[in-house]
Amino acid sequence: MASGGLSLPPGESLLLLVLLCLVLLPLGFTLIQRGPLYLPAAEVGLLMLMEVVVGTLWVWWILAERPAPVALVGGGLVLGTLLAKGLYERRLERRLRV
């Protein structure tokens, strides 16, 4: 029978939980909210897709899980799109300067 009392995670997990709730999440949401003020909507959308790529890499690195081949292809597609967009815009800016 389960008790109705308060159950807390172990010490190290509790510290990580506090860090997540008081620092990382508010910082992340603030940056997501402020980003569209300074960047075009298309670029913000592509950068939001980076969360999936970076999250997959973090899990791969920290938890030693192996991502599925489809996840690697998707991540490569997102990174390739961001790279192509950046190079295209740089080329456009150079043409406008000349």
Q: Where are the strands (E) in 1-98, listed by range?
A: none
- Confidence tier at 94 by pLDDT (50, 70, 90): very high
Instruction: Determine contact, residues 52/75, Cβ cutoff 8 Å.
Output: yes
**pTM, entire model:** 0.51
Angle between helices 41-62 and 69-97 (to 10 degrees): 140
pLDDT in tens, 3-22: 677 787 888 888 888 888 89
